[in-house]
Amino acid sequence: SSASGKAGKKSEFRYYKLHDSLYPSGVFDFDKTCLTVKASGTAKFVVSLERKKDSDTDKTFEFKAASSEERDQWVGVLQDIVRAKASNVFDLRFNTKKCYKKQSITAQEFIDTADNCDILLFRRHAFLCKMQRTLTSSEYDHVGMVVITEDDGERKVLLLESVYYDHGVRLLDLSDPESLRALVGSHTVLVYRKLTGVERDDAFIQDLSDAVSRVLHKKYGMNFLNFWRRSSSAKQVADDRKFHCAELVVKVYKMLGFVSDAKSSSRFLPGD
């Protein structure tokens, strides 16, 4: 079907189904997508996504301009951007299968920009995970929180999470792009969300360190009876306390003063 395209900021090309469509059908990010552009017939041009390592994407789109002259202008502009970005090499996308639908992020970009208390949300292939999302009406089935540490001057990006197998609450090292590649490879969707509006000063770092030390190595547990608890105290962490993934993140957020005690941590789900 024909579509009209509009060039966005930050080397993006947003495409629309119709000329007067309010919302784009998708977006090409030239920083993260390998594209070729060429003219195709009267007033038409083709954008092709090339297959890359760890990606199932191999797709071609045909767009219709108002005239051959406008088509040539689009092709010229897009080809210039493609050539300018040709030297960029990226090793991972958090969403490789449909990178033409939504903006994506590479492993190195995540490692460079991730900060304390940012969030990673997961939506996994497994049948039980799909059932969990259905039963909880949640878009995601797992969540973890970023923790940044310094080890002999080396910055490390860690993921604080609670997992149901033997580990319980753990810190998973994501500083190596290979670790991220393995993590992303086992999930359908991995979404990164930054925590904004927070001053990460020395006092904040100390409070975060104290909070992490209080929950680390606790066992995994999900008690559905706790979903009816109305409130919980941010200061209390019993020795035998167990956490499911969302409960863990909210508990740490409560310790840092980001979330009110009015709602119990155990009542939160990954999609919240």
Residue 55: pLDDT band with limits 50, 70, 90? very low
Tokens 């000063």 -> residue = 201
Confirm if 237 and 210 have CB atoms less than 8 A apart. no
Per DSSP bridges, beta strands 4-8 and 12-16 are antiparallel
Give the C-alpha separation, 196 to 193, whole Å.
9
User: In sequence order, which ranges of the chain are alpha helices (DSSP H)?
Assistant: 68-85, 107-113, 127-136, 177-185, 202-215, 245-255
Tokens in use for 34? Answer: 């390998």
Fold designation for 107-267: endopeptidase fold (from Nostoc punctiforme) (3.90.1720)
145 forms beta bridges with 119, 160
Q: Where exactly are the structural domains of the chain?
A: 4-85, 107-267
Confidence of residue 22 (pLDDT cuts 50, 70, 90): confident
Between residues 81 and 115, the one the model is more confident about: 115
Average confidence (pLDDT) over 114-127: 87
As given in the structure block, the two tokens for residue 38 are 């060429």
Cβ pair 169, 141 in contact under 8 A: no
Q: Identify the CA nearest to 67 among candidates 45, 37, 42.
A: 42
**Is the separation of the CB atoms in 163 and 244 below 8 Å?**
no
Rounded CA gap, 230 and 154, in Å?
42
Fold assignment, 4-85: PH-domain like (2.30.29)
Is 70 exceeded by the pLDDT of residue 37?
yes
- 24-33 pLDDT, tens per residue? 888 777 766 6
pLDDT tens sequence across 184-207: 765 667 788 888 888 889 999 999
Lowest-confidence segment of 49-53, 76-80, 177-181, 240-244 by average pLDDT: 49-53
The predicted structure's pLDDT at residue 116: 95
CA distance linking residue 157 with residue 195, whole number of Å:
15
- Rounded-to-5 percentages of helix, strand, coil across the chain: 30, 25, 45
Phi first, then psi: what are they for 17, rounded to 5°? -70, -45
pTM: 0.63
